[in-house]
A and B are shown apart, each in its own frame.
Chain A
Amino acid sequence: MTNSLLFGIATFVYFFAMVLYVSYLAFRSEMLGKVASLSLLGGVVVETAAIGMRWYESYQLGIGRAPLTNLYESLTFFAWTFAVIYLVLERKFKIRTVGAFVAPFPFLIMAYASLNPNDIQPLVPALKSNWLISHVVSCFVGYAAFAVSFGVSFLYLFKARAEKRSPKSTGSFWEFLPSSAGLDEIGYKTIAIGFPLLTIGIVTGAFWANVAWGTYWSWDPKETWSLIVWLIYAAYLHARITRGWRGKRAAILSIVGFAATIFCYLGVNLILSGLHSYGGAS
């Protein structure tokens, strides 16, 4: 299948981009940085083609469906949204140095995806719905935004410590990274992007569940965990906006939020049972 080949090439390009981002941080050459960004963009382009090809091939098989319905497809789509969101933020906030810590993820996610079966299966009746695309896309773009916030918040913790230890300029490795205040702000802004998307994802999911099963909320593990994730980020936003939580406390909340997000995405499918079993590994 052409789509598998393209996904394979995309994985390889993501790997290449990861190596370049790390070298950029190590050698601090602007040229390397530009090539790193370009190769990540190249990975996105190849993967876009792969997703499109997989969609097209599903029609050729007489199945005809969006490639967003099992673990392999959701992981590859997650890697794609992750890379896209990161590239947009890198351009907007000029944070290429963060890339060394964020760019490995698309490669790692793709590598994990490749361990799962990737044949194109037809859809069970419950998944045949126009809500599929809007529900999955909003959830995953939200997850990707939270993932970037996680990476940036994690980096914040180290950077803030380094700044505290040596407040004066020393030309050290940490100096090369964005300021802790900048990281803190990006950590917040990415959550401000992810939170509305997660909300839309939950609402479209509830609407779809109501059409398919006649109940908009049934406390199934996926629904419950998405609510927990929503509550954690809601707490983050309230703490930040009304109580002025910044820096370390905000960063830790963002990290906790992403841990819950990952459990909601993978943990629920792999460990708990429920209505969302399509995404499981089996």
Chain B
Amino acid sequence: MAVDEPAKGAKTDGTDFVAKIWDFLTSLKLVVILLLILSALSIAGTVIEQNKPVQEYYRFYQPGTVALFSKLGLFDMYHSWWFVACLSLLALNITACTMDRYRGIMAAMRKKNLILDEKLSKSLQNLTTIRYVLPPDAVEKKMVELAGSGFSGKHVVTVAEDGARHYFFEKGKYSRLAFFMTHVSILLIFLGALVGSFFGYKAYTNIFEGETVSQVEARTGKIQKLNFQVKCNTFHAEFYASGMPMDYRSDLSILQNGKEVIRKTIRVNDPLTFEGVTFYQSSYGSQPDQVSIEVVNRDGSVKGAVTAPFGQTVAIPGVPDKVEAADYQEHFHMPDGSEGGRAIGVNIHPANGGPTGLWLLVDQPEYDQRRGSAYYFRVKELKLKKYTGLQVNKDPGEILVWLGSILLIAGIMIAFFMSHKKLWISLRTDNKGKSELTIGGTANKNREAFSKEMEIMIQSLKEVS
């Protein structure tokens, strides 16, 4: 470990404790255990379906199991305190390990071995000695040209005590920092998720065609006021001949102080963003706008007609009762299990006493006759209004997540495909004025490729004359 250990005698209880925690945080054991736990928990979360309505769990599990799982947070486990605690510990572990290695690598990068001595040469590959009849200055010029072409950047020349000249070349020095990029990027992604969950929200809203909203309800139940208004001009759903959905689109306008600022048709995969708030096409539906009902006597003669705006109670002509269109179903389930088509749920409010509810079928107008009362209702016309269902997001942490992602990919690429290559050459003169050149190198990755590169260079050096 590259931590600066304090001198043994000077250790106080405090630093000892800190050192112990540090050791724990940077230990391989912690990573392995955390990764195993996180994987096991994640697998459990894919087997137990998450965030379903409670009733659905009762179909699969015993009531006792449902109660236990729900108490343990297994139905929303990715947000449970223990899962978040594991992730936090992982973040701490990554931070500690990164700091630890950062110090080590920076120290190693600073401490350069500039002299090709016997000890160093033992650790090098392609170590070769070449003798020339030329004087060293002539060799040097050609050598720097040859070596310099493969190693961009400046080389360092050191003159040793014995008069030999040592040349140090390197390339891809900073590729050693790739580990720093990959680990910091993951912390950045965590941070982005954290910022999003504290300062952002995810909400949902339905807007009827022609209507406007200025606030949305977040998943947490909190009402989020918008600094502007959103209007749904129109909504369209298109289907293929097979019935498969083809396109959902909403024509939206953003209004500020009553003026339209932006107008855009959003689709799935093409949302609208305004002032950091994004609107996504998520669902759609329709609700009755108003219902025209005929009131029919038992003998079949029409008593009168009522037009009831949805949700409002209106008087029925010639009868003391009042009627309210309160509910709507697109696919009504008949008592015998068959499909009844569009149906309107109606409440009849008599002058005295509580209301009675009944269903009117739009496509079977005489259906209510079977009720056998003094008069029955017949649906004459149903006007529907469509609404678009929008997911509304504000996530100031998103940008950090994308920055982290890009940094992660770049870091991994550098880590795998760039290597730190180092090359040493020493040049000395014997007393007859002839030169002796020694060359050797090392790379931290893909040594075979580097070895081939060096072989070619050595061959060219041998041909210098």
Measured CB to CB, the closest approach of chain A to B225, in angstroms, equals 19
Contact residue among B202, B398, B413 (Cβ-Cβ distance under 8 Å from A196): B413
Across-interface contacts of A203 in B (CB, < 8 A): 405, 408-409
A213 touches B391 (CB 8 A): yes
Q: Which residue of B lies closest to A211 (CB)?
A: B269
Is there a chain B Cβ closer than 8 Å to A232's Cβ?
A: yes
Knowing A214-B391, A231-B39 are in contact, say whether A121-B409 is a contact too (CB < 8 A): no
B456 at the interface (CB under 8 A from A): no
Complex CA distance for A121 and B241, rounded to whole angstroms: 11
Stretch touching chain B among A78-86, A98-106, A219-227: A219-227
Set of chain A residues within 8 Å of B58, measured between Cβ atoms: none
What is the bound-complex CA distance between A228 and B391, given in angstroms? 28
Say yes or no: is B429 at the interface (Cβ < 8 Å to chain A).
no
Chain B interface residues toward A at CB < 8 A: 28, 31-32, 35, 38-39, 42-43, 45-47, 49-50, 78, 193, 202, 240, 242, 244-248, 267-271, 278, 280-282, 391-393, 398, 401-402, 405, 408-409, 412-413, 416
Per a CB cutoff under 8 Å, which of A214, A216, A219 touches B50? A219
In the complex, are the beta carbons of A231 and B38 less than 8 A apart?
yes
Asked, given contacts A125-B268, A203-B409, A238-B31, whether A196 binds B416 with beta carbons under 8 Å apart, the answer is: yes
Minimum Cβ distance to chain B for residue A145 (Å): 12
Contact with B along A262-274 (1 / 0, CB 8 A): 0000001000110
A93 CB, nearest partner CB in chain B, Å: 11
Question: Footprint of B on A, CB under 8 Å?
Answer: 121-122, 124-126, 128-129, 192, 195-196, 199-200, 203, 206-208, 210-217, 219, 221, 224-225, 227-228, 231-232, 235, 238, 243, 268, 272-273
Docked-complex contact A122 and B413, CB < 8 angstroms: no
Q: Is the CB of A235 within 8 A of B35?
A: yes
Does more than half of chain A's interface fall in helix, strand or loop, or is it mixed? helix
In the bound assembly, the distance between CA atoms of A82 and B413 in angstroms comes to 22
Question: Which of A121, A207, A224, A232 has the most C-beta atoms of chain B within 10 angstroms of its own C-beta?
Answer: A224
B247 touches A199 (CB 8 A): no
B35 partner residues in chain A, CB cutoff 8 A: 231, 235
Chain A residues with Cβ below 8 Å from B242 are 121
Q: How far is the CA of A211 from the CA of B245 in the complex (A)?
A: 19
Given the complex of chains A and B, what is the CA–CA distance between A125 and B32 in angstroms?
41
- Nearest B-chain residue to A208, judged by Cβ: B269
| Distance of A167 from chain B, by nearest CB (Å) | 24
Q: Are A196 and B39 within 8 A (Cβ)? A: no
Could you show 17 A-B contacts with beta carbons less than 8 Å apart?
A122-B240, A122-B244, A125-B245, A125-B267, A126-B268, A126-B269, A195-B412, A195-B416, A207-B405, A214-B202, A215-B202, A217-B193, A219-B42, A219-B78, A224-B45, A232-B39, A268-B46
Instruction: Give the nearest-CB partner of A234 in chain B.
Output: B35
**Whole-angstrom distance between the alpha carbons of A225 and B44 in the complex?**
11
Option from B78, B202, B402 in Cβ contact (under 8 Å) with A207: B402
B47 to chain A minimum Cβ distance, whole angstroms, is: 7
B78 contacts across to A, CB distance below 8 A = 219
Contact yes or no, B271 A214, CB < 8 A: yes
* Complex Cα spacing A59 to B408, Å: 37
**Chain B hits for A219, CB < 8 A:** 42, 45, 50, 78
